[in-house]
A and B are shown apart, each in its own frame.
Chain A
Amino acid sequence: MKRLAKGALVLMTMSSMVWLSACGSESKATTTGTAAELGTLDPANPTKVTFYSYSLAYPTMKAGMEQLIKEFNDTVGKEKGVVVEGVADSTMQQYKADISAGKEVDVVQHTFSTLDSSRLSLGFKAYDDIFPKDELDEHLKGISSNALELGKIDGKMYGLAFTFSTPIVFINGKLFEDAGLDPSKPPKTWDEIKADSLQIKSKTGKDGFGLAPNNGWVTEGLILSNGGQVLAKDRKSADFGSDASIAAISMWKDLYHNGGSAPGSDAELMEQFMAGNLGMYVSSTSLHSGMKKASEAGGWKLYGAALPQFGDTPSVPVNSGSVLAVRPSDPVKTAAVWEFVKFVTGDRGYTIITSQIGYLPLRTELADDPNGLKDFVEQNPLYRINLDQLTRIQPVAIWPGDNATEMAKVFTDAIVKSVMADDDVKSTLTAAQNEINGMMP
């Protein structure tokens, strides 16, 4: 007994040391060179490209993303000699861990808010530096210029807009009708949202509206729509403690605390909406294919509305989604990566991304192209709302410097606390703003 206890103690101390030491385990150092020009691809000896994608890890997006990769491998890839291997990365941590471990990470489906930090610390390269200028200019023709601006830092393109959407209000037609509302005339302002939400709740007993405090990006649209901003124009300080921002968040807090907004995390609200138990849910159109299937299975009709506005001022949505960030290690890899980037952000790529997943076609003319997405958009009028919003869109905040991830977390935490807890909105936001400003480079 004594021996058992003592032995176990020793074992325990050792294993805790092992765990602690794991934090400091050294990784092999390999240097990634910069390629100035494209190498030559050989179809007989294909070049492997790894593509880390969070869409591959989500049930609603997986099939579309897999089709995109497969079609590339079967057509352009086969012809030119490139094989793309998709790596599902649900938490967007895998690519960081693999880069740290010295693995080849060539293309990453990267979110906007932490792009600057990755550029500085993970060796992502600017498109302008590694791809031929004439080919790049030719390829970018036809892509919405608003979208192209989003992946630029200090004048250079570190990410090409890839999957892209704006927030819309998904509407459960049946719950609307049960509450005596008309889903084809959806609410436009936040006041109307509150009134309709409470009406749905009192008539049907189910929650009327849902916007998760931890959603992470719709929040920014809310602040911008009321005339506030998240990050100062020069990206040198946080600026979400202004009166306009405080008023926007206070409106949301009122909605939340007076039964107008269902409690729960973003994932929980999505499940609630898909189960037919939520009247309205604000989220990205990338969920469209999943929502549509859920509505068909549940026997109700899916409607949509634009991001609600404050009073008469049109709302200012921010984009959700991702860019393609690249870090090829040699000229041949660069050529292979370039082929993949061209395919997935070309006409065929966006046709698959929009029709199979639900993101916006960044080549907007595809929506009117009979060979592209004309039929699809006519059958799914929700996309018109999204395309209309594209004209008013503003970029999501790209937090500057090494501490971007921490800054994004402090911002989200402050919003969640302001909306959910009884704490004062002004003091919570101001404290978070000061904390972030203390972390600025």
Chain B
Amino acid sequence: MSQSLDNTIAPSLSRGSIIVRRRLSAKKLRRFKPYLYLLPAVALLSIWMYRPLLYTFYLAFQKWSMVPGTSPVFVGFDNFEHLFHNKSFIDSIGNTIFYTVGLLPFSILIPMILAVVTDRMESKSKNFYRAMFFIPMILAPVSVSAIWRWLFHPSNGLVNYLLVKLHLIKEPIAYFSDPSFAKWIILLITGWKMIGFSTIMFSAALTGINREYYEAASQDGAGSFRQFVHITIPLLSPMIIFMLTMSILFSSQWTFAYIDMLTTGGPYGSSTNIYYEMYRFAFSSLNVGLSSAAALLFFVVFGVIALGLNMLSRKFAFYDN
């Protein structure tokens, strides 16, 4: 009996344990599954973003030329001290603010007006104009720089030729060698490229606005300006804040190519910005510690700005859900 009891019980027990185990592993798998899905993204982010980011923080306190066979030497806060004694870096902060603020009309004001004006057009001409605005965005910075350099050439350039012919200036101006013009031209070129992208973004946002608001407003006697102020702008507010954030955080990056190709930061550092100085420290002076220290400061300052803009977005952006 006991034998048979053992025999009958034993198999059922083992079957049960398998079922329990299976249930357990299924449960484990279910719990584990989300992490499994996240794994590729987490791995990629860690390898390509967070590890190098942390490594940059580490390098900010080292002296190193990046040459194989040499190793970084710990120097404490020396890099930060050098940074604040470096005249060209200090000058570049002012220029970075100049480019950041100067780019706002090109990324928000002008594109918003262009988007609203073209929005009322019939489909064919609307597409034509928007394509025209967008083309500068897809041109390669190198060819764009070459064309602008020809236009602004001191002796052979069209701009000087016209200005002299129209008696607006007496002598041709060397725009890229003149500190009072160099950074304005860089700003103009970057802005000119930026307009197309922003116009497309604002146009996309405009198509999302319900037409009934405008009909209702016009029946109440609101003119097109009042409609723009009281309907278009509030409903575009998420896009406005988004473009504001983009413009502020990326202005240094967008101006970089033109600084490098047209002025290399000159004359005497009057057109450089923080990004260009970081690049110079790392790849011209081969001082990766100094460059990382600048990158770390840049990260902190722009991180705070990004958080501020995020809060601004929560407070002011109006979503028509």
Q: A17-B53, A23-B282, A259-B171 are in contact. List 6 more A-B contacts (CB 8 A).
A: A5-B242, A13-B306, A96-B283, A263-B171, A406-B285, A410-B87
A residues near B58, Cβ cutoff 8 Å: 24
Minimum distance in angstroms from A255 CB to a CB of chain B: 15
In the complex the two chains form, is B283's CB within 8 Å of A97's CB? yes
B residues near A40, Cβ cutoff 8 Å: none
Contact with A along B56-86 (1 / 0, CB 8 A): 1111000001111111000000000000011
Please choose the segment from B30-38, B105-113, B148-156 that sits at the chain A interface, where 4 or more of its residues have CB less than 8 A away. Answer: B148-156
In the complex the two chains form, is A24's CB within 8 Å of B253's CB? no
For residue A232, CB closer than 8 A to chain B, the reply is: no
- Provide 11 A-B residue pairs closer than 8 Å at the C-beta atoms, listed in order of the A residue: A1-B205, A8-B242, A14-B45, A16-B250, A17-B49, A212-B177, A214-B267, A264-B154, A402-B65, A406-B86, A414-B268
For residue B14, CB closer than 8 A to chain A, the reply is: no
In the complex the two chains form, is B154's CB within 8 Å of A262's CB? yes
For residue A297, CB closer than 8 A to chain B, the reply is: no
Minimum distance in angstroms from A304 CB to a CB of chain B: 21
Question: What is the number of residues of chain A that contact chain B, defined by CB distance less than 8 Å?
Answer: 65
For residue B40, CB closer than 8 A to chain A, the reply is: no
Q: Which of B50, B55, B88, B155 contacts A275 (CB 8 A)?
A: B155
For residue A379, CB closer than 8 A to chain B, the reply is: no
Minimum distance in angstroms from A275 CB to a CB of chain B: 6
In the complex the two chains form, is B268's CB within 8 Å of A417's CB? yes
In the complex the two chains form, is B208's CB within 8 Å of A1's CB? yes
Minimum distance in angstroms from A234 CB to a CB of chain B: 24
> What is the total of A-B residue contacts with beta carbons within 8 Å?
185
In the complex the two chains form, is A416's CB within 8 Å of B67's CB? no
Q: Which of A2, A207, A413 contacts B266 (CB 8 A)?
A: A413
A263-B173, A409-B88, A420-B267 are contacts. A23–B291 as well, Cβ < 8 Å?
yes
**In the complex, residue of chain B having the shortest beta-carbon distance to the beta carbon of A93:** B283
For residue A123, CB closer than 8 A to chain B, the reply is: yes
In the complex the two chains form, is A271's CB within 8 Å of B288's CB? no
In the complex the two chains form, is B286's CB within 8 Å of A121's CB? yes
For residue B298, CB closer than 8 A to chain A, the reply is: yes
From residue 406 to 427 of chain A, which have CB atoms closer than 8 A to chain B?
406, 409-410, 413-414, 416-417, 420-421
In the complex the two chains form, is A2's CB within 8 Å of B321's CB? yes
Minimum distance in angstroms from B288 CB to a CB of chain A: 7
Minimum distance in angstroms from B273 CB to a CB of chain A: 14
From residue 284 to 321 of chain B, which have CB atoms closer than 8 A to chain A?
284-288, 291-292, 295, 298-299, 302, 306, 310, 313, 317, 319-321
A residues near B50, Cβ cutoff 8 Å: 17, 21
For residue B269, CB closer than 8 A to chain A, the reply is: yes
For residue B179, CB closer than 8 A to chain A, the reply is: yes
B residues near A8, Cβ cutoff 8 Å: 242, 246
A residues near B174, Cβ cutoff 8 Å: 263-265, 268
For residue B115, CB closer than 8 A to chain A, the reply is: no
A263-B178, A272-B156 are contacts. A27–B49 as well, Cβ < 8 Å?
no
**In the complex, residue of chain A having the shortest beta-carbon distance to the beta carbon of B306:** A13
For residue A195, CB closer than 8 A to chain B, the reply is: no
A402–B317 Cα distance when bound, in Å, is 51
B residues near A26, Cβ cutoff 8 Å: 52, 55
- Max chain A Cβ within 10 angstroms of own Cβ: one of B88, B268, B302, B319: B268
From residue 19 to 68 of chain A, which have CB atoms closer than 8 A to chain B?
19-32
For residue B239, CB closer than 8 A to chain A, the reply is: yes
A24-B56, A271-B153, A421-B179 are contacts. A93–B284 as well, Cβ < 8 Å?
yes
In the complex the two chains form, is A25's CB within 8 Å of B52's CB? yes
A16–B278 Cα distance when bound, in Å, is 14
Q: Which of B56, B67, B87, B155 contacts A264 (CB 8 A)?
A: B155
A residues near B225, Cβ cutoff 8 Å: none
A1-B319, A27-B66, A262-B155 are contacts. A20–B246 as well, Cβ < 8 Å?
no
**In the complex, residue of chain A having the shortest beta-carbon distance to the beta carbon of B303:** A13
In the complex the two chains form, is A16's CB within 8 Å of B249's CB? yes
Minimum distance in angstroms from A113 CB to a CB of chain B: 13
In the complex the two chains form, is A275's CB within 8 Å of B156's CB? yes
A40–B87 Cα distance when bound, in Å, is 51
For residue B199, CB closer than 8 A to chain A, the reply is: no
In the complex the two chains form, is A100's CB within 8 Å of B155's CB? no
A2-B319, A99-B67, A100-B66 are contacts. A213–B292 as well, Cβ < 8 Å?
no
In the complex the two chains form, is A100's CB within 8 Å of B295's CB? no
In the complex the two chains form, is A413's CB within 8 Å of B268's CB? yes
Contact with A along B156-197 (1 / 0, CB 8 A): 100000000000000111101111000000000000000000
For residue B245, CB closer than 8 A to chain A, the reply is: yes
For residue A102, CB closer than 8 A to chain B, the reply is: yes
In the complex the two chains form, is A99's CB within 8 Å of B68's CB? yes
A265–B261 Cα distance when bound, in Å, is 13
In the complex the two chains form, is B284's CB within 8 Å of A405's CB? yes
In the complex the two chains form, is A31's CB within 8 Å of B68's CB? yes
B residues near A435, Cβ cutoff 8 Å: 87
A331–B249 Cα distance when bound, in Å, is 51
A413–B238 Cα distance when bound, in Å, is 44
Minimum distance in angstroms from B95 CB to a CB of chain A: 14
In the complex the two chains form, is B55's CB within 8 Å of A25's CB? yes
In the complex the two chains form, is B48's CB within 8 Å of A213's CB? no
- 9 closest A-B pairs by beta carbon, nearest first, are A21-B52, A24-B56, A263-B174, A413-B268, A100-B66, A121-B65, A264-B174, A272-B155, A264-B154
From residue 206 to 227 of chain A, which have CB atoms closer than 8 A to chain B?
207, 212-214
A1–B235 Cα distance when bound, in Å, is 10
In the complex the two chains form, is B68's CB within 8 Å of A28's CB? yes
For residue A122, CB closer than 8 A to chain B, the reply is: yes
Minimum distance in angstroms from A11 CB to a CB of chain B: 10
B residues near A14, Cβ cutoff 8 Å: 45, 49
Minimum distance in angstroms from A350 CB to a CB of chain B: 31
Q: Which of A1, A18, A117, A268 contacts B155 (CB 8 A)?
A: A268
- Max chain A Cβ within 10 angstroms of own Cβ: one of B71, B154, B156, B302: B154
For residue B233, CB closer than 8 A to chain A, the reply is: no
From residue 181 to 231 of chain A, which have CB atoms closer than 8 A to chain B?
207, 212-214
